[in-house]
Amino acid sequence: MSVDHDWSELPPELHHDLSELSPELHRDWSELPPELLHTIANYLINLTDYLHFRAVCSTWRSSTPATPINLPCQLPWLMLPKNRSNRRGFINFVDNKLHFLNLPEASNRRRRCGSSHGWLIIVDESSPLILMINPITKVTFNLPPVTQFPNVLNFDFYSVGREYTVRSSDGEVYTRNLKEMCDLFIRKVVISSSPSRDPNFIVMAILNETGELSYCKNGENLWNFIDEARFYAEDVIYFQGLFYAVHKSGEIAVCDVTGDSPIVSFIETPRQIGGDMQYLVRTNDEFLLVTRYLELDLDAAYHQLDVVYKTVEFCVFRLVLEGPRWEKINCLGDKMLFLGENSSLALLASDFPGCVGNRIYFTDDYCEANYDGVNGNHDLGYYKLEDGSIEALSCYPRNSHSMLRWPPPIWFTPNPC
């Protein structure tokens, strides 16, 4: 096997080691010493490059761990709607490279309700099952089922059309069928850390209809409500041991759920007015509140006229702790934000070749319970703060036939561990 490569791209400390192997850089590279291969692999920061490195030959594969330990957070892929097989497409929106992964766990009878730390959280339509899966490693974890939420009173598979009995936040008891519970009960789920790295991970769920926050710890078989943080259900993120949940008004509930009972404090800000959805994002140095504005529109695509909603604007605010208050900003600089059903994420464009900062990349996560059946027509793209324009992703144009399939795409951050 002969490999040609621009070795000037390697770190300087490796040049001397390579030069001693041969007077020429044309040789059987499978004979490289394992310790040198391991050192080179530690300098790879892109998951795809790492996987390709291990695929060169058996020697390279055996000299590097299957699970890299030094990879930084990867650029999110767009998980595409399901096709007729069990394979799901994941596309890199920068280079438009498509990766197919066998994922029968995300069938049409199941709905994903979160994407966090490289894991998908999936609810089942035909049963109360909730599971997490890492599409890269295929490792799965079962979470407490839907029947273990405190407001789910009963489940009877044979009561067709009214399988679930649920209690609302004001005490009203009502029934839901299988599909309604799958589609509407849980709005979003985030996890504190990757379960493969941290056995003490915690899962936080936003319930859509009641506005409850509910959590479970690994090894427990029940969900617990955080009564003090009820209705702080616009978005929730995890940062340095705490969950931060944002209210529609912009107020934040800070939840410590590591002990036997949750401890909640509040960051009370002047009320935010306007907007249809709120997202909370943590960057390297501050919290951001992102307000999303939607409008109804007529769509004449596919030879029919539909009323659809679409995103028309985003406004971004930074949290000023003196006050505290939200201060509007007009520029994100080098930052890129990724919003939707995924855990809200901020990355630096300069860390990823081909990316541009000062942009908000968004997917369609406006829940059916919010818009009385109005279609979203896969409302996704990116928003440019410099001029307020919205562009379609080149990998998913507005006339894409994938729009005919449900669910819409979701951001997924590949993580091999």
pLDDT-wise least confident of 47-56, 70-79, 331-340, 362-371: 362-371
One-letter amino acid identity for 381? G
The structural domains of the chain, with segments of one domain joined by +, span 28-72, 73-412
Contact 48, 68 (CB under 8 A): no
Cα–Cα distances (Å) from 4 to 1, 23, 69, in that order, read 10, 14, 27
DSSP class of 270: P
Q: Give kind and range of the element (H or E) at residue 112.
A: strand 110-116
Please tell me the predicted confidence (pLDDT) of residue 361: 97
Q: In terms of pLDDT, which residue wins out, 298 or 393?
A: 393
Contact 231, 250 (CB under 8 A): no
Query: What distance in Å separates the CA atoms of residue 225 and residue 228, rounded to the nearest whole number?
Result: 9
Please tell me the predicted confidence (pLDDT) of residue 390: 95
Query: What distance in Å separates the CA atoms of residue 410 and residue 81, rounded to the nearest whole number?
Result: 9
pLDDT digits 0-9 by tens, 247-276: 999 999 999 999 999 999 999 999 999 999
Whether the bond between 407 and the residue before it is cis, its omega within 30 degrees of 0, is yes
Class (C level, CATH) for 73-412:
mainly beta
- Is pLDDT above 60 for 123? yes
When pLDDT is averaged across residues 29-45 and rounded to a whole number, the result is 83
pLDDT-wise least confident of 10-19, 229-238, 268-277: 10-19
Whether the bond between 408 and the residue before it is cis, its omega within 30 degrees of 0, is no
Tell whether the torsion through CA atoms of 304, 305, 307 and 313 is positive or negative: positive
- Is pLDDT above 60 for 347? yes
Enter the pTM of the model. Answer: 0.87
pLDDT digits 0-9 by tens, 367-400: 654 544 555 557 889 999 999 999 998 877 655 5
Q: Which residues pair with 191 in a beta bridge?
A: 203
Contact 275, 328 (CB under 8 A): no
One-letter amino acid identity for 309? Y
